[in-house]
Structure 1
Amino acid sequence: MSRSAREISSPAEWSTVVEGTKVCVVLFYSPSNAASLEAIHILEHHSQGLEGRGTVLELAKVNVDEVKAIKSAYSITKLPTTMLFRNGKEVDKVSGDNIPRLTQLIEKVKQAVDSETTKKASGSANSWKGAALPRGYVDITDQVELNRSELLNFDTETGGVRALLSSEKPSALSGGKATAKDWVESDTDDQLLLFMPFQSMLKLHTLQITSLPPTDDDDDEAPMRPKTIKLFVNKSHNLGFDEAEDLQATQDIELSESDWNKEGTASIPLRYVRFQNIDSLVLFVVNGDGDSEKVRIDRLRLIGESGSARDMGKLEKVGDLPGE
């Protein structure tokens, strides 16, 4: 059975869905327009065989009677109108009741999803790793919803959440001078608060943290590696610093110099039974290992297993249309 297209109800949700998805199909419709409803039916049934999920593929619809701002922004004059986006940019558009053109667009969707899925698999295989993965588990960092993540008390001249979760090798290990600060440093003191919601329910086994502060022993202002960390699961939003200080953590972590390997990565095993079926993680760096007022993190990797999709608007593999 095919899964329903996601209903977009506001311009803000439009931005999150269209800009946050590699391949996105959006159908503009009206409940009173029979051709619109037939087009939705065709798209939903043609979702069969599309393996992309999460940030790879989204099938969505917009009720033009309810969300007129989006209708106006994209000059929708005929119903149904179907648009295909890749990385937030329009690549095809079908206006009116045109089944042959809609079929062509669906084929483009399948090709785009195949292309993005192949790139994603290739990138995952070749991405930088700061430490070996535990046997039987995989890197599931790509399950973090970047658009909804929040990082507090970081120096805005350094990278943000995207830098922390990047699969690329940290510039500090590349031998040359960094053209951009692809790491995070704390701002007013040595604390950081990171909220990471997930696209699906996860089983988290290991947290890998890479920290590569400068090695100049004479620089008292050089940032430190994290020392004390508190982890919280299944929060609907980020915590405040006072709240995080007082709240009992899902797991408390104390790092020492011996925990860091030659790549500057600490591989932290988690109390696995406490990290089953989680939909978010809050990471609180309580303090750093030294006397500086700043702490630095270059990369974060989440290791475990991904589960069922949390958003019921995402697609699953479904059966063929009758007669195909």
Structure 2
Amino acid sequence: MASGDRVIIIHSKAEFQSKCASAGSTLVVVGFMASWCGPCHSIAPTYSRLSLKYMECIFLKVDVDECKTLAAQQGISTMPRFQLFKNQVKVAEVVDANAAGLEAAIIQFAGEEGTESPIAGHTDLEQFIDTSTSEFLNLSEDTPMNNALEPDGSYVESDCDEQLLMTVGFSQAVKLHSLTIYCEDTAYAPKTVKIFINQPGSMDFDSAERNKCVEEISLQPHEVTRSAITGLQYVKYQNVNSITLFVRDNQAGKDTTRVTGLRFFGTPRDFTNMRDFKRVSGKPGESH
């Protein structure tokens, strides 16, 4: 690791257990790596940077060749692999050199105030939105797409009628749990929305109207406010690279539709939240 970071090198199973026990409710981030592993070397500078950025967390590094028993006990089969612990219980796991997924997990479980995610176990996916693969159709030239993707109070507005077709791409596959789509003026806010995912090309309005969607939602006035959250059928959104929202109409039959903000909540696909698993026996943190 880089000189001056806060990463603690672990040399034994006993040392690992001691660090986790003494940490209590402090988040412990453990990187399982190997000297011969190329991806481990590529993510090492990022891991060092994260240790300096999140000073309230404890960062450990385990060489799987030096600590073979520990690596086997933790089920480490590929490297790099990151496990997060609180009160000696594993709460999350991130596989491969997934820097964005690792930081998202740290933010979520470290209790950072800046995450602004109201959904337990999920994070605001703003950092994963890829504007280069995003596209809004029937958009007024005066209201660029980023108005809806950046929380600055501005809005996007449809052009010639009330319909909008908004495709948002992600920089990596994500699992979507819920979304917020709102307008400061409720009368102009979306009402009927058809949702599509992973479309192979740009959709047009005819195909959006005609094609079968993953889910269709009908938003009530209280569901298009800044603080409202619309739950999705989570099982259908486990591998999402892009999401397309076809807004068919608005709340009050206005000539145009406006969207002040569009937020998505979920997790990167390669980030496993261990709290999502239901235990069938034993105590939390107990090995089987």
Give the TM-score band, short-chain normalised: 0.5 to 0.7
| Gap runs ≥5 in structure 1 | 1-42, 53-112, 172-181, 216-222, 310-324
Could you tell me which amino acid in structure 2 is paired with residue 49 of structure 1?
A
Pick 1 or 2: higher relative contact order, CA cutoff 8 A, min separation 6: 1
For 1:191, the equivalent position in structure 2 comes to 163
Counterpart-to-counterpart distance in 2, 1:259 and 1:292: 18
For 1:157, the equivalent position in structure 2 comes to 142
Q: How does 1:148-297 map to 2 (within 5 A)?
A: 148-160=133-145, 162-166=146-150, 168=151, 170-171=152-153, 182-213=154-185, 224-261=188-225, 264-297=226-259
Counterpart-to-counterpart distance in 2, 1:128 and 1:299: 17
* Cα distance, 1:260 vs structure 2: 3.8
* Cα distance, 1:237 vs structure 2: 2.6
Could you tell me which amino acid in structure 2 is paired with residue 195 of structure 1?
T
User: What value does the CA root-mean-square deviation take over the aligned residues?
Assistant: 3.1
Tell me which of 33, 44, 51 is aligned to 1:49: 44
Amino-acid identity (%): 29
Cα 1:190/1:268, change in 2 over 3 Å = same
For 2:82, the equivalent position in structure 1 comes to none
TM-score, normalization: structure 2?
0.54
Contact kept? 1:202, 1:307, Cα under 8 Å: yes
Contact kept? 1:234, 1:281, Cα under 8 Å: yes
Tell me which of 128, 135, 139 is aligned to 2:120: 135
Could you tell me which amino acid in structure 1 is paired with residue 149 of structure 2?
L
TM-score, normalization: structure 1?
0.49
Contact kept? 1:190, 1:295, Cα under 8 Å: yes
* Cα distance, 1:266 vs structure 2: 3.2
* Cα distance, 1:143 vs structure 2: 1.1
Could you tell me which amino acid in structure 2 is paired with residue 305 of structure 1?
T
Cα 1:201/1:128, change in 2 over 3 Å = closer
**2:270 counterpart of 1:298:** no
Counterpart-to-counterpart distance in 2, 1:137 and 1:44: 26
* Cα distance, 1:265 vs structure 2: 4.2
Could you tell me which amino acid in structure 1 is paired with residue 148 of structure 2?
L
* Cα distance, 1:258 vs structure 2: 2.9
Q: Deviations over 1:54-93 (max 9, x none)?
A: xxxxxxxxxxxxxxxxxxxxxxxxxxxxxxxxxxxxxxxx
Contact kept? 1:185, 1:296, Cα under 8 Å: yes
Counterpart-to-counterpart distance in 2, 1:141 and 1:231: 18
Contact kept? 2:189, 2:224, Cα under 8 Å: no
Report the secondary structure of 1:248's partner residue: coil
* Cα distance, 1:158 vs structure 2: 1.4
* Cα distance, 1:150 vs structure 2: 0.7
Count residues with an aligned counterpart.
177
Cα 1:293/1:136, change in 2 over 3 Å = same
* Cα distance, 1:125 vs structure 2: 5.4
* Cα distance, 1:140 vs structure 2: 1.1
Counterpart-to-counterpart distance in 2, 1:50 and 1:253: 44
Could you tell me which amino acid in structure 2 is paired with residue 231 of structure 1?
I
* Cα distance, 1:275 vs structure 2: 0.6
Counterpart-to-counterpart distance in 1, 2:159 and 2:45: 44
* Cα distance, 1:48 vs structure 2: 4.0
| Gap runs ≥5 in structure 2 | 1-37, 48-98, 272-288
For 2:55, the equivalent position in structure 1 comes to none
